[in-house]
Structure 1
Amino acid sequence: MNHIDPSVQLDDSVQIGHFTVIEDGAQIGKNVKIGNRVTIHSGTVIGDETTIDDGAVLGKGPKPGKTSTVKLDKTIPPLLIGSGVTIGANCVIYRGATIGNDTLIADLASVRENVKIADFVIVGRGVTVENHVTIGTRTKIQSNSYITAYTDLEDHVFIAPCVTTTNDNYMGRTEERFDKIKGATVKRGARVGGASIILPGITIEEETFVAAGALVTKNTEPKTVVKGIPAKFTKKVDERELL
């Protein structure tokens, strides 16, 4: 048995599984497919031709812990999901996020509030996207990567599995850290290899290639290959590999 609030805007073409809850004010587009045990919180907007797999939670309101440094706006807008989107099983996407058209959020991924994801993006299985993150068109983030708060990924960026971004050089101590928290800026066409770690505030320039397992401690130069611990310049990116 499903629970659908009478105020929900629901087209007749929508398919809904079992034990799903859709709260007040939600708007569901045409030809949307909603699986079993899905929760769609109040005000969430879902575009046409979108698929939502079993167990997904959409539009969840953030609730920081008592010792958290996260500051919330008094009013957080509803979750907005575009057309042709696929939301995997057991994903959690928070209120205040915007998901562009034809994007994939794979199974078990988490997307926090104040996140903007553009069109044709892939967010892989088990990826965590924290708050205040922007992700550009046709960017790919592969399984189990961690995108920390205040990170910017531009268009056509490739993030390999298990990449870790960081944003706090003080690791939670001293008041000085608050105005210096900043994640990475990964510019257009850059590629970051598996299990790499990017330190706070680092800029990965356009078309940089970060080799697997690198520890990036300094800003890179455009169209260069960096590798090692710490990562250092190795060579220029082959012209054939550039966008």
Structure 2
Amino acid sequence: MATPQLGRNVIVEEDVKFGENVTVGHNVVIYAGTLIGDNVVIQDNAVIGKQPTRAKASILPESEKLPPAKIGSEVTIGTSAIIYANCDVGSNVFIADLATLRERVNIGAYTIIGRGVAVENDCTVGERCKLETNCYITAYSELGNYVFIAPCAVTTNDNYMGRSKERFDKFKGVTVRTGGRIGANATILPGKVVEEDGTVAAASVVTKDVQTQELVVGSPARKIKNVDSKQLLRNQ
């Protein structure tokens, strides 16, 4: 195992494995068993491999201790970012300050996770995505490759808004297929799908699926036209 460059007040628990040329800032906590690839930069106050904790009133079942986090090579992890156990981060990913990646999350190579972004549990994010400042990816969501999520966009997974036991087996996140784009402050309701190259305008509320290459606008969002051919992923 290579020897990392460690800042002050760093806690590295047992069985953490470092690749070559890893730099760790001050006050970082890396939990047991975490795997870290080559040429990784971990900035001050980051927490990696944290086991989830459950509120007493949570409807989620107690879970056993989860497997360690995995961080690929050439990854940058920003100041005060938190990466939970059983999170798998691909190579060349950039994770900005204050971002949170929950348990059972997979992040594809070359994806950018912006400042303050939250990716909740049981999500998959594809390769070369851009999740911009303060957007929220709800639990049980799936994003394809080359997905763009603008600042403060919100996805949801609970049509019952916290009421009735009926909702317990009906949580469903959102799906954004390859090349899908979500504008700033847009809201996507539970279970909705944005198909390939589908585009949601800023501040729209998506109450039904967005079809391939559609541009939807408004609240509720409605198609106004097809995405301009120059904007399609295949023409980039």
The answer as to whether partners of 2:51 and 2:65 remain within 8 angstroms in 1 is no
Percent identity (aligned): 48
The answer for the alignment partner of 2:95 in structure 1 is 105
Does residue 194 (structure 1) correspond to residue 194 (structure 2)? The answer is: no
The answer for the alignment partner of 1:224 in structure 2 is 214
Q: What whole-Å deviation, never above 9, does each CA across 1:4-40 have from its counterpart, x for those lacking one? A: xxxxx4x13x211111010011101100010000000
For structure 1, the residue ranges without an aligned partner over 5 or more in a row are 1-8
- Superposition TM-score, scaled by structure 2 size: 0.97
Cα deviation for residue 178 of structure 1 reads: 1.5
Distance of 1:75 and 1:32 partners within structure 2: 26
Does residue 57 (structure 1) correspond to residue 57 (structure 2)? The answer is: no
For structure 2, the residue ranges without an aligned partner over 5 or more in a row are none
SS of residue paired to 1:93: strand
Does residue 183 (structure 1) correspond to residue 173 (structure 2)? The answer is: yes
Does residue 32 (structure 1) correspond to residue 14 (structure 2)? The answer is: no
SS of residue paired to 2:48: strand
**Which residue identity lines up with residue 177 of structure 1 in the other structure?**
R
Identify which range, 115-124 or 71-80, moves more after superposition.
71-80
Q: What whole-Å deviation, never above 9, does each CA across 1:78-100 have from its counterpart, x for those lacking one? A: 00000000000000110010000
SS of residue paired to 1:161: coil
Distance of 1:68 and 1:94 partners within structure 2: 18
Instruction: Report the RMSD for the aligned CA atoms in angstroms.
Output: 0.9
1:95 is aligned, of 79, 85, 88, to: 85
Does residue 147 (structure 1) correspond to residue 137 (structure 2)? The answer is: yes
**Which residue identity lines up with residue 68 of structure 1 in the other structure?**
S
**Which residue identity lines up with residue 178 of structure 1 in the other structure?**
F
Distance of 2:107 and 2:60 partners within structure 1: 20
Does residue 43 (structure 1) correspond to residue 33 (structure 2)? The answer is: yes
- Superposition TM-score, scaled by structure 1 size: 0.94
SS of residue paired to 1:177: helix
Q: Where do 1:64-213 residues align within 5 Å?
A: 64-213=54-203
**Which residue identity lines up with residue 53 of structure 2 in the other structure?**
K
**Which residue identity lines up with residue 194 of structure 1 in the other structure?**
A
Aligned residues: 233
Cα deviation for residue 72 of structure 1 reads: 4.7
**Which residue identity lines up with residue 188 of structure 1 in the other structure?**
T
Cα deviation for residue 69 of structure 1 reads: 2.0
**Which residue identity lines up with residue 37 of structure 1 in the other structure?**
N
The list of structure 1 runs, each at least 4 consecutive aligned residues, that deviate by more than 3 angstroms after superposition, is none
Cα deviation for residue 221 of structure 1 reads: 1.1
Distance of 2:60 and 2:93 partners within structure 1: 27
The answer as to whether partners of 2:177 and 2:196 remain within 8 angstroms in 1 is yes
Cα deviation for residue 75 of structure 1 reads: 3.7
The answer as to whether partners of 2:96 and 2:114 remain within 8 angstroms in 1 is yes
Cα deviation for residue 76 of structure 1 reads: 1.1
